Each structure stands twice: as structure tokens, then as C-alpha cells.
Structure 1
Amino acid sequence: MTTDAAVEYHPLDPDTLLDPYPVYASLRAAGAPVWSQKLDSWVLTSYRDCRQVLLDHENFAADWRRAGETVPDPALDVHTIDPPDHTAIYGVLANSLRDMASDGLAARTRDHIAAMLDERPDGPFNAITEFTEPLARWFIPEAIGVPPFDLTTVRPMAEAITQAMDSGLNPAAREPGVAAQRQLAAMIEDWVTGMDAGHPIRVLVANALAAGVPRHIAMNSLRTLVVNGFTAVPASLGNALNLLSRDPSLLADQLGSPEAIDRAPHEFFRYEAPIQGTTRLAVRDLEFNGVKVRRGQGMLMLFAAANRDPEQFDAPDTVRLDRWPNHHLTFGYGAHACTGSLLAHLLLRELLTVLVERGTTLKPAGPAVHKKLATVRTLAELPLELGK
């Protein structure tokens, strides 16, 4: 096994939380996957390696049952099953989300963002707790047509599920996460039961069942959209605002047309990926880029590292909002590419549109502080001041 203590990956180390990219560059310089005893996985940091694993579902499983693991039913969803079973639910979700990401939703989103900015009192504020998180938690129910979140009920479930994403580092988080998945899926079942037959979510579920998708997988896959309101969506907003506040030229000079604004979210997603990576398991013994991988071993693909790979991206540590094409891996690649990326893109695009149209400026009012999470790269504090 290729192991080098000098490039061992400790994702919750305070320095790594602050800036993981030097560590990622050191790992990538090894030229091959690096074995992490702590994570019981091969750590992949090059664009080529990550993309290869994402595209090879024959050898690398998102459905860990194929590698001999036991996976509880609440954890089975569009992200954790493989083709051919995966194909039907993925197609139904993708078609439904394309319909949801409408011009009408975009207009309602712009109006809501403008109202939030109008209601903002003068002076410094924490843009995470007072803007990006409330915006994301309004947007997801508005986009997918579920009731507004009752945060006293939904937030603890979402937080337990988010913590369970780091169960490789903290195994004790796994069971509470599975219990929360079960609770949230049951809540969504109640929502769906109470909807009219023509409601888009009822139609989505009916289409999934007609395509042969088991009902629990359909419900669990809807659950992943709800959890996005507490994970990738607010994370991507906060990460973008952090960058905009620290480089005023991004708003002032690089967003001069609707086309530029439409492309810009992809560069924010690439530069600071809200989801740092994900793991596949090898379903058989094989050799991969010079290392011997055994059945059941993890392949931790660090998308955030791949997105800064200089072999794929010119000047990868520079934000270029006009970078195009921009084949980042933030939302995966191939069969398991995240369908929810359509909504994340729409929300950030409309936020940028409003900021540009209003001539809003963002000024740091203190240091940004990251949450102590490995999988989701998201801020707990982002002190800002708004200006014009």
C-alpha cells in the first residue's frame, strides 16, 4: 500500500478545516491513491482517478451491499443504489427536477432574495445564520412543493444525517443518522399522502412506482432533496458569498452579462465544493493506478481536490467566473451525477442576479469560521456588511 505519513489526510484538523487545499495538493503529488488507515480507504485526489471511479460502477459500488456490506433500508436512495436499479429513480427525479427548475421558480426566488435584502438592518451580520441558511430552507420547499420546514422538527433530523456523513471518522454518528433518515422519510410519506393526486410530488412518486421503483427508495430519494436544504445548498451559498466579499472584482468586473451569471455558479462550485467527496467500495480485487485494491476497500474520491487538479484546470487556485467549459466533479459524474444540482445552480444564479442588479457590495466584517465537518464544507460564521 502507498502510505506516507507526510501526506496523511486528517480532515478535521483545524488547519485542514481552514484550508484543505495544500493538503490535497500534497496528496495529489504522490501520483497515486494514498492509503488512509484511519479512514480505511484509498484517498483519491486527481481528477483522472476520481472521474474513472465515478464512471466505473461495475468495479466500484455506490451500493455497498455489492461489496459485502449491510446497508439498512433507510439508507437506500438514488445516491446509494447502482444501475440497473438506480436508472429508473434517477430518470424520474431528473425529469421532475427539470420541470421544477422553471422560470417561475427563478422569478419567485429573485423576489424573495430582494425582500430579504430589503429587510436586512444596517450593520454587520452573520450571513450564514441570518441569510444563506434561511434562504436555502425557504427555497427547497418552494422548489419541490413540500410544506415549509418546521425547523424544530426537521433541523435535528437533518443535522443527524449530516453528522452521519462523517461516520467513517465518527462511527457513533451512523446509527443516529439512520434513525433520522427513517424519521424524515416517514414525515415525507405523511406529506405525500396529504397531497392532491395532481401535485408534482405525488406525480413524481406515481411515476417512480410505475417505473418499478420500490416505494421506500422513492421516499428516501425525496428525503435527500430535503436534506440538501441543510447541507450542499446553504454551503454553496455561504462559500460563494465568502469569496465575493474577499474579492470585490468578482461582482464588479466578472458578472457583466446574463451568460456570465449563468456560468458563474459552476466556478463557485468548482473552487469551493460544498461536498468534499464521497466513497465507493471495490466489488472485486483489482489494480488501480499502481495500487492493489482489495474487495470491500473504500475509494474516497475527494472532489474538492480533483477540482483543483492543474492537469484538468488551468490556474486552478484562481476564481475565473468565465471559466468554460467547466467540467468540475462537485456534483459527481456519470450515472450518479446529482440531480439536485439543477436547483443549487438556479438558486445561486438568482442570488448573483439580484446582487448585480442592485449594485450590492459585500464587505467582510470579521473572520469566517467553518463548521467542524469533513464531508460538507460549510461555514458556521460569515460576518458581512452590505453596501452599494
Structure 2
Amino acid sequence: MQTPSPDLQAIPPDVFCLADYERHASHNMPAGAWAYLQGGAADEHTLQANARAWQAISLVPRVLRRTAGGHTRTELFGRTMAHPLMLAPIAYQLLAHPEGEIGSALAAAAQEAGYVLSTQSSTALEDIADATALDHLRGPLWMQLYLQPDREFTRLLIKRAEAAGYEALVLTVDAPTSGVRDRERRAGFRLPEGVSAVNLRGMSTPPSPTLSPEQSALFDGLLHHAPTWDDIAWLKQVTRLPILLKGVLHPDDARLAVQAGVQGIIVSNHGGRTLDTAITTARALPRVVDAVGSDVPVLVDGGIRRGTDVLKALALGARAVLIGRPAVHALATAGALGVAHAIRLLRDELEAAMALTGCATLADIGPALLADD
């Protein structure tokens, strides 16, 4: 694996927004790692449409409103957060920089942002918790979870997260199989030596079934282990932590999640990495919010690149947003310092957008700020 040179620890002088970090990261990362972390499914229509959907929403600002003394504070699961920004779960961050997930988590803590660790982290979940434990101003620390075929291993993984101090579980539900990732396959990507899903070490793998020629390896094999709504009931029995479902796009699924006792929903299309041409998160968000009402917090990710995007997401009913690829771009460019800078850039842009639309607090942000077109 290519190791970034020491001068990549400094923030380049020409970085003024998240897009600038993407440009630098594309040159700093090996081609295979870039294809894996940056690529999407199939023709990448959803990947590209996510950002365009936020851009297409027009703001209708208010003027001459008192905004002095405003703030970006919000509350989520009993925690007061300095702002509604969180880092989304991204696997194998050692591909981007030697600091990997530790760097991202420390950056999030320094900027009071929430952090969601991937099940497929290349750093142990305990090490992440230990690295941020003494920062009392840090945002929430959550653990993303894929339900594994080995349910006992999954239960023990959850207990490890609870013992380490994680505050919620984020169950990803939109990837019963991997998407058709052509860019990744063309690059011939393989995990390099020294990068692996360390939290899954020791897990037993079910034997592959013997299939007849007319059977499908997917439908008659892999999908027998895919989670269903019954597994939500099982999960609620084995953990005391709040459970959020990540990957909900359909309002009917949002209603089923609430009926199942899920405490939060993350509107996500997996960054366009699973089902290509899936609805954008900007379009799906208000439908999900309407389906669940105000009692269940709804978060969103996918294509958010500007503070105005964050404001639009909040106006559509999101309680917080998660940032994925931009954080990896910043990590690949300047390590933890870059990630912290990227979060600060987005927060500063959100504050500017609030001031320019006449919003002193997040409570002032609502659908009336959005054009009907």
C-alpha cells in the first residue's frame, strides 16, 4: 500500500471547500484504493445524482431578522451537540492514510462532531473509543453494524461496543449483497497487506451450499443469511443501545421501522454504492420524515458537500447529517488535521447559510425556506 509522504500532514494552501480536498485526494491515493472509496455502483447515476439533488433545491431567504447570538446546537438521543454534523461509517480508512479511523475519530472529537465507526473498520473499536474517551466535548460515538450470519459473534461484537462506551447502534439494512461496482472491478482492487476488518476477526463463516446448475449463488446461497424484520426484534433483545436503521428510502419501510421499535432512521442510498438509479436522499428525505412524524429522529447522508446542503437537509426535516466521502478526501490529503478542517469548513458554511437565510437557530430552519419549484 502506498503511504502518503509526511508533507501531506499539512493542509494545502489552496483548500477552501470540500471539493478542493477531493481534488487533492484523487492524486494522493493509489488508483485501486481511490476506485474503492470513491466509486459507486454500475454507471454511478445515483452517486452523481445525490449531490445534484441538493444543488437543485433553491433557497428563499428571509431578511432583516435578528440572528445575533445564534447557534447551531441540537439534541439527539439526550445528547446536546454543538452542531448537526456527523461522520458517516466508512470502511478500511487505512487505505486513505496511516492514521485511518483513529485520525478521523480524533478530528471529529476535536470539532465536537459525531462519529460512526464502521463494522469493517481497519482499527479496533476499542482503540477508537479509548482515543476519544477523555475528550468530554466530543460528539456522540456510534457503532455501525452489519448483521453477520454468525449471530453469536454479532452478539459479542455488540457487547464489545457497549463495554467500550458506544452510545448507539447503526444497523445498515440496504446491502444484503454488494452493488455491481464496475469502477472497483476495473481497477482490480484488493485489500493490501495490513488492512482488514479487524473487528470481524475470529468470526466463523458458514459453508457454501452445494448448488445445482439451475440454482442462483445469490438467491439460493448468500441471501439465506440476509437480515429481515425478524432480526430487528432479535437485535432489540440483545442490546440496551438505541438502534438506528441506515439505508431507509421508502416511507413504508420507515413506518415498519417505527413499528419494530427502532429509535432512529438514516435516509441513505449507501452513497450510490449498492443500487444504481435508486432515489436520491434529498428526494427520499421528506417522504420518510412525513411517514414517521416528529417523535423519531431522521438523519440523512449522500452527496452533502456544502453548508447550504446541510441547511436544506434540516429544512426537509433531518435532525442531523452524516458526511462520508468528503471526510475520506480530507483524511487522504492531510490526516486528522484535514478531517478536522473539513468539518470546520462545513460548520462555518452552515452558519453563514443560516445568517443569510435569517435563521438564528436550527429551530428557525424549515420548509418555508425552500422554493416550491
Query: Shared fold (TM-score greater than 0.5)?
Result: no
Structure possessing the higher relative contact order (Cα contacts under 8 Å, 6 or more residues apart) = 2
Greater helix content: 1
